Amino acid sequence: MSFGSRAQVAMQAYGPLCVGIDPHPHLLEEWGLEDSVEGLDRFAATCVEAFAGKVAFVKPQSAFFERFGARGVAILERTLQDLRHTGSLTILDVKRGDIGSTTEAYADAYLDDDAPMAADAITVSPYLGFGSLTPFFAAAEKNDAGVFVLAFTSNPEAIRLQTATTSSGMTVGDQTLAQLALANEGAEPMGSFGAVIGARVAHVDARRLDINGPILVPGFGAQGGTVEHLRELFGSVLDSIIPSTSREVLAKGPDVIALRAAAAAANDSLSLL
């Protein structure tokens, strides 16, 4: 099954919520863990126990593992492997973007089904040109994986770039969405190439949101994104959005039952969409 098909199945089974695994130093401290490889290991293992087979998507943030070097990356590898075949799909948040053989190497590292760090999907950046993402798309198609492309992010510095007008007359962000729609054209039930759009972004052309693919929506929950924001921004494509939360759920750790309850509550709130 393609990633688009698997994503739809997971959303129907568990709801649309994505829970991030973000082992930030302050969260490790709040959980009573040391800011160390050992603390990271315990944090990640607890998240797997809490969320595997309980939510549709789990999104490890690679940087928080990479900061511990090779031992942290080894824990990331195991985390991804432990989540496989549990019913939950992994979205590895790496935001990679490069050209040529380097992009091909990144694609092999994260999307090849036999790679140690294989994920169901990854996040990528289009700002070296949308065409530079071709190796990611090719690897995703070969391995039934997914790719989420940054389109509109909520950080203040992004507005000037993402709303800049291109020679086509569209903004950079809108053109990214248009190109994703072309890449997903004809896919059923939906394509495997998604967009990343922040929950609090206000400058999106609603006519461009129908990309026939999933839309990852970070910023839901503790970062201020509400059900009302989602309904207002994504009203025409609500069935395709994957709202993502990290801090609001992870703040309930390290108790596994409390983490599951927080994720369930967030998922329940999305039933109001």
Nearest Cα residue to 126 out of 118, 137, 116: 137
For residues 123 and 86, give the distance between their C-alpha atoms in angstroms, rounded to a whole number. 21
The sign of the CA dihedral 186, 133, 66, 114 is positive
Class of residue 56 by CB neighbours under 10 A (exposed 0-12, middle 13-18, buried 19+): buried
Query: Active site includes 95?
Result: yes
Residue 177 CB contacts under 8 Å (≥ 6 apart), including other chains: 151, 195, 205, 208, 209, 211
Nearest Cα residue to 107 out of 90, 126, 123: 123
Catalytic residue among 54, 59, 95, 252: 95
Over 68-123, what HEC string results? Answer: CCHHHHHHHHHHHHHHCCCCCEEEEEEEECCCHHHHHHHHHHHHCCCCCCCCCEEE
Structure-token pair, residue 249 = 């759920």
**Would strands 121-124 and 241-245 be described as parallel, antiparallel, or unpaired?**
unpaired
For residues 3 and 193, give the distance between their C-alpha atoms in angstroms, rounded to a whole number. 9
Residue 157 CB contacts under 8 Å (≥ 6 apart), including other chains: none
Residue 202 CB contacts under 8 Å (≥ 6 apart), including other chains: 233
* Active site members: 95
